[in-house]
C-alpha cells in the first residue's frame, strides 16, 4: 500500500494531536504541550551533519525558549535506539546534550499527519520543517528549509518574541524588528481607541503607519 502524504499545516490551523515514542518516554502531544507555546521541527533522518548542528544549537538555546514559555520537540523518522546513539554524537560534537524530547517516527505517522514529507523532494524522509504553535495549538509560523541549509533558531526566537508582543499589545512589528524596537499600531485600531491603548503617544508617518514604543 502506498503512503498517503498529508498537506503541510497552515497558519491558524489547530495542530493535530498524536501519541508517539520519544527520547523522554511516550507522550500524547496535547498533554505534553498543555498551555505552552511549542516549536516542533523535523529532521530527515538521524546522523545527518546539518541536523546534528541544529539539535546542538536548539539544546544550547533551550534556556531562551524556557524564558518565553516555549517547549521544544524534534522529530526524525528513525527509531528510538538510533535517537539514543545520535544524542551521544550531538553532545560530543556540539558540546550540548539533548535537553528536549525527540520523536521517533519510523511509521511516518506524525510526519504524514503534519505534512512533513514532501514527495517531490524525497518520499522517504521528512523535509526540514519548523512549526511554531501557540498555547491553543494553533499554527503561528511555518518554515520549510532545503536539505542543505541549516535553520536559524535566532530567527525562530525573534518571531516568537514578535508573536507574543503582538498578541499582548495589539501591534505589528516591522521589517527586521528586534525586541525593544518600535512597533506599529494596527490599522484596524482608530486613533480614538489608540489614545486609550497607547497613552504614551505615537509618531504617525502616514495615517496607516503609526510608530509606538511598547514594553
Instruction: Give the up-direction half-sphere exposure of residue 29: CA atoms within 13 A in the CB hemisphere.
Output: 24
Q: Can you read off the three cell numbers belonging to residue 139? A: 499554527
Determine which helix (DSSP H) or strand (DSSP E) holds 5, and give its type and residue range.
none
9, 20, 38, 51: which is the annotated catalytic residue? Answer: 51
In the chain, DSSP finds a helix count (H) and a strand count (E) of 7, 11
Cβ count near 136 (within 10 Å): 9
Q: Cα–Cα distance between 47 and 49 in angstroms, integer? A: 6
Is there a catalytic annotation at residue 95?
A: no
List Cβ neighbours of 141 (8 Å cut-off, separation of 6 or more): 11, 130, 131, 132, 156, 159, 160, 163
* Residues acting as catalytic residues: 51
Amino acid at each position: 500500500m502506498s503512503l498517503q502524504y498529508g498537506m503541510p499545516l497552515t497558519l491558524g490551523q489547530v495542530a493535530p494531536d498524536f501519541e508517539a515514542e520519544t527520547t523522554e518516554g511516550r507522550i500524547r502531544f496535547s498533554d505534553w504541550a498543555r498551555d505552552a507555546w511549542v516549536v516542533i521541527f523535523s529532521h530527515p533522518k538521524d546522523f545527518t551533519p546539518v541536523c546534528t548542528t541544529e539539535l546542538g544549537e536548539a539544546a544550547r538555546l533551550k534556556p531562551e525558549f524556557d524564558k518565553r514559555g516555549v517547549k521544544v520537540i524534534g522529530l526524525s523518522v528513525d527509531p528510538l535506539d538510533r535517537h539514543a546513539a545520535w544524542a551521544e554524537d550531538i553532545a560530543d560534537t556540539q558540546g550540548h546534550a539533548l535537553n528536549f524530547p525527540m520523536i521517533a517516527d519510523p511509521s511516518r505517522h506524525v510526519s504524514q499527519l503534519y505534512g512533513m514529507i514532501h514527495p517531490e523532494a524525497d518520499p522517504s524522509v521528512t523535509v526540514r520543517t519548523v512549526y511554531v504553535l501557540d498555547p491553543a495549538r494553533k499554527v503561528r509560523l511555518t518554515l520549510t528549509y532545503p536539505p542543505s541549509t541549516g535553520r536559524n533558531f535566532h530567527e525562530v526566537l525573534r518571531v516568537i518574541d514578535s508573536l507574543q508582543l503582538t498578541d499582548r499589545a495589539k501591534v505589528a512589528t516591522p521589517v527586521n524588528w528586534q525586541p525593544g524596537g518600535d512597533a506599529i499600531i494596527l490599522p484596524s485600531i482608530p486613533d480614538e481607541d489608540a489614545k486609550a491603548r497607547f497613552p504614551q503617544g505615537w509618531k504617525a508617518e502616514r495615517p496607516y503607519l503609526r510608530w509606538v514604543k511598547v514594553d
